[in-house]
């Protein structure tokens, strides 16, 4: 091919800082800037707005509130949230919206709106909610079919485990821009993981049908679950103003406000009793698990359910009673965050493994080993039988790779030195993350493939690129399938006009679902191109200029045709370049475009019996973490983290490595320094980088390695690969359990996560 192709590297431009975020889009003349007015109480009523200081401002355009909308309710599952609150449920809830001529004036004017309130007393913790019977759902239970009968040598351990929330801290804050055009059409540019839901919620807000709303998403500066449902609210406010004013409007949240008013990872509170044998084998687990849903339901139900689906993590639990319930508190409505409740479930059992080890004076590694899912012990508490289970191999391989036994001895020796200012700890934990959306209907996706007569290709799917590399991975899978060099494939922006009725890019399944759909579309075109290639092979000349000579390629010949090195070959000596073949197709009216729809097969769950096969497969892995703790300051350092992940046949090891390390570090922050503290009036006191500490480059493991466990068995998924986005987040828990090991605090009945410096010092004193 002579013509040089300059492809826009959709994913790599992202890492080079070239992405145009919503707020980087150049404003049109007269564009309106919006900013929300936020409640300054956590519970009560808005009695009145006073706009006297606002309306006289030359930059003021308009003010919107609940009175401006008929149907003041939205939500991703049930519409229980107001777009504008009259009855306030949390500090920082959106009660009004300022439209102004400049970004700065919109922010200033929003703060100048005077609000008169009738105040009530808020509920700010799960414990308080339990006491006041304030819940967002009834109790959900997974109960083992066979009741546990006590044994005389039972060892019972009871306790409580408090798990904190987490701020997403995406670099790009929530943002939307809406262009109103003739014919009552809205074009919405949104920083969302879920364009289809933005379309639906904006329709609800404006009463404009879905068909007249287009949502386009370029790339996100991070989502991490925080833009799965909650981007829709911001977009809807923007849509309202745009329709009312018939102008282009944008709404970009500042960091501090985004921090205060958007949902976080759910805090959890577990009350448990575990019964084990004297050797540490789990016999029975009873846990009452409460999540802090905040004020509204949002995605709390599937998040709680995923929490319950992951209390087993890598370990077989023969008898169980797992009860889950969502507390309703006067805090922001908590939402999806990497792991989607899974980490809060898995952290419980990993903490228990450590406690059991310390109670029985066994190495917790040994306790984990005997409890791992293994032969004849492969059924989860929700009835799914694990296929192709390599957990025992992964753990033992990693123990070897990380020289577990000799490191254990070394740590013992180091800790026996009373003059040292450091205490060392080590822990090996695992992850077994179920892949599929737990709501079955979300496990579908579609793709559009356009092949152009110069031998290049456009691919478009419902997947959102948010830094995880999904567009690169889809492109790589297409490139392998078509035998085309990747620069021939151009990934188009996600847009509801090309891909409608999509699911959020979430549940780690972005590549699984969208690459599968792209291959289904590709196969349809490939079949037509094989007919064409076969037809040419029957002619003497290497061209086909007469449509009537087009023949169907017989099955035995299909097997021989190869798409490789930007060519098509395999029948005799005929080699046709992809460009030649595609241009021939165009000239002979053979369609070069197609559409594919994919749905995940064989997944189901019976809500009555709480049993089924909710996951297509599991992504698994393990990590060995070594920490040291300063005895005087409580400071922790992660000395070493060695990870072994089973990602089937990884689509791209480099991308996956980035995801694994990123997830581990993000989880390390969750279990150590990231703490959300509310004032008694419900205001989030830790709402900026000065008071809320995410890991920085100095906090990451000093020695950090990722290896892949070879596994070719995952034929259930595209290209035998496995999803990577969330599963390794669960590995960060090992930082917590390694600290438990160092502090030897497993005999205490009440523990809390994160291990901040203060929390650690409490255990040391
Ligand atoms: N990686 C980056 N860089 N940025 C993100 O926002 N989100 C995570 C994970 N990795 C995220 C990320 C979450 S919560 C999910 S569900 C997956 O990516 C979503 O993308 P995928 O399905 O393509 O893996
Ligand atoms: N994961 C992420 N997002 C979701 C899920 C899930 O399992 N279910 C509904 N939204
Ligand atoms: Mo991820 S929490 O499923 O967006």
Give me the pLDDT at residue 8, please: 44
Asked whether the bond before 754 is cis by omega within 30 degrees of 0, the reply is yes
Q: Minimum mean pLDDT among 3-7, 28-32, 754-758: which range?
A: 3-7
Task: Name which of 12, 66, 122 is nearest 684 in CA terms.
Answer: 122
One domain for residues 245 and 281: no
Residues 6+ apart with CB under 8 A from 690: none
- Spatial separation of the C-alpha atoms in residues 710 and 644, rounded to whole Å: 10
Pocket test for ligand 2, best of 336, 341, 605 (most atoms within 8 A of CB): 336
pLDDT of residue 543: 87
* Any domain includes 31: yes
Statement to judge: residues 419 and 467 lie in one domain: no
Cα 566 to chain centroid, rounded: 35
Q: Confirm if 161 and 348 have CB atoms less than 8 A apart.
A: yes
The rounded Å distance from CA 509 to ligand 3 centre is 9
151: left (phi over 0), alpha (psi -120 to 50) or beta: beta
Nearest CA to 486 out of 133, 67, 10 is that of 10
Cβ–ligand 2 distance for 506 under 6 Å, the answer yes
403-423: string of b/e by CB count within 10 Å (b at 16+)? ebeebeeebeeebeeeeeebb
Residue 145 lies in a domain: no
Same domain for 683 and 752: yes
Task: Residue 580: count other Cβ atoms within 10 Å of its Cβ.
Answer: 18
Domain stops at, among 599, 617, 652: 599
pLDDT at 11 over 90: no
Q: Cβ contacts of residue 555 below 8 Å, gap of 6+?
A: none
Residue 271: partners with Cβ closer than 8 Å, 6 or more residues away: 159, 160, 287, 288, 289
Taking each helix axis from N to C end, the angle separating 578-587 and 510-537, rounded to the nearest 10 degrees, works out to 80
Domain boundary among 550, 566, 599: 599
State pLDDT tens for residues 271-301.
999 999 999 999 999 999 999 999 999 999 9
User: What confidence category does residue 13 fall into, taking pLDDT thresholds of 50, 70 and 90?
Assistant: confident
Separation of CA 596 and ligand 1 centre (Å): 23
CATH number assigned to the domain comprising residue 194: 3.90.1170.50
- Give strand pairing partners of 2: none
107 CA to centre of own chain: 30
Question: Who's near 557: CB < 8 A, 6+ residues apart?
Answer: 534, 571
Task: Answer yes or no: is 136 within a domain.
Answer: no
Mean pLDDT over 163-176 rounds to 98
Strand runs labelled E in 494-592: 494-495, 562-564, 567-569, 576-577
Q: Are residues 368 and 302 in the same domain?
A: yes
The pLDDT assigned to 7 comes to: 39
pLDDT score recorded for residue 457: 98
551-588 pLDDT per residue, tens: 999 999 999 999 999 999 999 999 999 999 999 999 99
Distance CA 710, CA 720 (A): 11
Q: What is the rounded CA–CA span in Å between residue 537 and residue 121?
A: 81
Based on the fold, state whether residues 464 and 519 are members of the same structural domain: yes
Q: Are strands 32-38 and 249-252 parallel, antiparallel or unpaired?
A: parallel
Q: Is 160 part of a structural domain of the chain?
A: no
Select from 228, 252, 276 the last residue of a domain: 252
- Picking from 524, 578, 471, 454, the residue whose alpha carbon sits closest to that of residue 217 is 471
Pair (416, 373) in one structural domain: yes
Instruction: Tell me if 178 is assigned to some domain.
Output: yes
Residue 137 in any domain: the answer is no
Q: What is the pLDDT of residue 4?
A: 46
Given its phi and psi angles, is residue 403 left (phi above 0), alpha (psi -120 to 50 degrees) or beta?
Answer: left
- Residue 15 has a pLDDT of 82
Asked if 672 and 636 count as a contact pair (C-beta separation under 8 A), the reply is yes
SS3 of residue 553 by DSSP? coil
pLDDT at 1: 46
Percent of the chain with pLDDT over 70: 99
pLDDT > 90 in the chain, percent: 97
- Cα distances from 130 to residues 40, 670, 675, in angstroms, run 25, 24, 22
pLDDT surpasses 90 at 544: no
Are 570 and 628 found together in one domain?
no
Question: Which atom number of ligand 3 is nearest to the Cα of residue 508?
Answer: 3
Residues 237 and 273 in one domain: no
The torsion angle over the Cα atoms of residues 489, 494, 496 and 501, rounded to 10 degrees, is: 90
CA-based torsion, 457, 459, 465, 468: positive or negative: negative
Q: Are 702 and 738 within one domain?
A: yes
pLDDT digit string (tens) for 517-542? 999 999 999 999 999 999 999 998 88
pLDDT of residue 295: 98
| Mutation test residue for ligand 2: of 307, 442, 505, the one with most atoms within 8 Å of CB | 442
Mean per-residue pLDDT for 476-500?
Answer: 96
Tell me the pLDDT of the chain averaged across its residues: 97
* Residue 726 designated active-site: yes
What is the count of structural domains for the chain? 3
Say which CATH number the domain at 591 has.
Answer: 3.30.365.10
| The pLDDT of residue 10 is above 70 | no
**How far does residue 258's CA lie from ligand 2's centre (Å)?**
22
Give the model's pLDDT for residue 9.
Answer: 62
pLDDT for residue 206: 98
CB atoms within 10 A of CB 8: 10
Quick count: other Cβ atoms within 10 Å of Cβ 703? Answer: 10
Q: Is residue 167 part of a domain?
A: no
H helices present in 540-682, as ranges? 555-558, 578-587, 653-671
Taking the model in full, what pTM does it have? 0.97
Q: List pocket residues of ligand 3, CB cut-off 6 Å.
A: 193, 225, 228, 336-338, 340, 506-507, 726
Specify the pLDDT at position 14: 85
Q: 387 CA distance to ligand 2 centroid (A)? A: 22
Report the Cα 168 to chain-centroid distance in Å.
10
85-136, pLDDT tens digit by residue?
999 999 999 999 999 999 999 999 999 999 999 999 999 999 999 999 999 9
pLDDT one-digit tens code per residue, 333-354: 999 999 999 999 999 999 999 9
The DSSP code for 270 is E
Q: Are residues 221 and 330 in the same domain?
A: no
Residues of the domain holding 591: 444-599
Helix (H, G, I), strand (E, B) or coil at 112: helix
**Residue 131 covered by a domain:** no
Q: Are residues 400 and 459 in the same domain?
A: no
DSSP lists the bridge partners of residue 708 as 645
* Residues 577 and 625 both lie in one domain: no
């Amino acid at each position: 091919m002579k013509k040089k192709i300059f492809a826009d590297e959709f994913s790599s431009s992202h890492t080079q800082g070239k992405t145009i975020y919503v707020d980087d889009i150049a404003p049109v003349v007269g564009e309106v800037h919006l900013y929300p007015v936020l409640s300054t109480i956590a519970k009560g009523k808005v009695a009145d707005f006073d706009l006297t200081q606002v309306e006289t401002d030359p930059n003021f355009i308009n003010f919107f509130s609940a009175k401006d909308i008929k149907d003041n309710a939205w939500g991703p599952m049930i519409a229980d949230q107001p777009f504008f609150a009259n009855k306030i449920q949390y500090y920082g809830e959106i009660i009004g919206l300022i439209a102004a001529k400049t970004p700065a004036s919109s922010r200033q004017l929003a703060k100048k709106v005077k609000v008169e309130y009738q105040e009530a007393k808020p509920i700010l913790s799960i414990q308080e909610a339990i006491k006041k019977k304030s819940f967002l759902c009834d109790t959900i239970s997974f109960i083992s079919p066979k009741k546990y009968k006590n044994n005389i040598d039972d060892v019972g351990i009871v306790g409580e485990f408090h798990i904190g929330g987490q701020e997403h801290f995406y670099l790009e804050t929530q943002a939307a821009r809406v262009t109103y055009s003739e014919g009552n059409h809205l074009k919405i540019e949104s920083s969302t993981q879920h364009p289809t839901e933005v379309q639906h919620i904006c329709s609800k807000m404006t009463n404009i049908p879905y068909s007249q709303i287009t949502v386009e998403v370029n790339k996100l500066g991070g989502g991490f679950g925080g833009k799965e449902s909650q981007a829709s609210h911001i977009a809807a406010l923007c849509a309202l103003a745009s329709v009312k004013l018939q102008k282009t409007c944008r709404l970009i949240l500042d960091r501090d406000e985004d921090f205060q008013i958007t949902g976080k990872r759910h805090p959890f509170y577990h009350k448990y009793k575990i019964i084990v044998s004297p050797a540490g084998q789990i016999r029975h687990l009873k846990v009452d698990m409460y999540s802090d849903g905040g004020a509204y339901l949002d995605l709390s139900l599937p998040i709680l359910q995923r929490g319950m689906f992951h209390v087993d993590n890598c370990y077989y639990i023969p008898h169980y009673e797992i009860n889950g319930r969502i507390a309703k508190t006067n805090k922001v409505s908590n939402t999806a965050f990497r792991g989607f409740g899974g980490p809060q479930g898995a952290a419980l059992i990993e903490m228990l493994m450590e406690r059991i080890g310390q109670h029985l004076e066994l190495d917790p590694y040994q306790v984990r080993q005997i409890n791992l899912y293994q032969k004849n012990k492969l059924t989860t508490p929700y009835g799914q039988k694990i296929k192709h289970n390599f957990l025992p191999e992964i753990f033992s391989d990693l123990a070897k790779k990380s020289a577990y036994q000799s490191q254990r001895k070394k740590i013992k020796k180091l800790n026996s030195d009373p003059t040292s200012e450091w205490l060392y700890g080590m822990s090996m934990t695992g992850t077994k993350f179920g892949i599929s959306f737990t709501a079955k209907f979300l496990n579908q996706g579609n793709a559009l493939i356009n092949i152009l007569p110069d031998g290049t290709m456009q691919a478009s799917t419902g997947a959102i690129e948010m830094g995880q590399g999904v567009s690169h991975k889809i492109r790589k899978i297409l490139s392998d399938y078509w035998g085309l060099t990747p620069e021939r494939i151009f990934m188009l922006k996600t847009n509801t006009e090309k891909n409608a009725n999509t699911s959020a890019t979430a549940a780690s399944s972005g590549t699984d679902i969208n690459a599968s759909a792209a291959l289904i579309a590709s196969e349809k075109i490939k079949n037509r191109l094989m007919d064409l290639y076969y037809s040419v092979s029957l002619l003497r000349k290497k061209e086909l200029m007469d449509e009537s000579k087009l023949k169907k390629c017989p099955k035995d010949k299909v097997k021989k045709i190869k798409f490789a090195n930007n060519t098509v070959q395999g029948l005799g000596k005929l080699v046709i370049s992809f460009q030649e073949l595609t241009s021939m197709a165009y000239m002979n009216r053979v369609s070069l475009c197609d559409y594919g729809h994919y749905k995940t097969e064989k997944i189901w769950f019976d809500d009555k019996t709480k049993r089924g096969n909710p996951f297509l497969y599991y992504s698994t892995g393990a990590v060995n973490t070594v920490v040291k703790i300063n005895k005087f300051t409580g400071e922790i350092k992660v000395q070493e983290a060695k990870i072994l992940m089973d990602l089937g046949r990884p689509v791209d090891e480099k991308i996956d490595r980035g995801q694994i390390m990123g997830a581990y570090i993000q989880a390390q922050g969750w279990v150590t320094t990231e703490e959300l503290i509310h004032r008694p009036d419900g205001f989030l006191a830790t709402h900026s980088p000065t008071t809320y500490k995410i890991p920085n480059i100095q906090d990451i493991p000093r020695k950090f390695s990722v290896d892949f466990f070879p596994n070719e068995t995952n034929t259930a998924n595209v290209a035998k690969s496995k999803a990577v986005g969330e599963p390794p987040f669960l590995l960060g828990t090992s930082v917590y359990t390694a600290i438990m090991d160092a502090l030897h605090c497993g005999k205490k009945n009440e523990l809390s996560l994160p291990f901040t410096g203060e929390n650690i010092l409490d255990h040391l004193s």
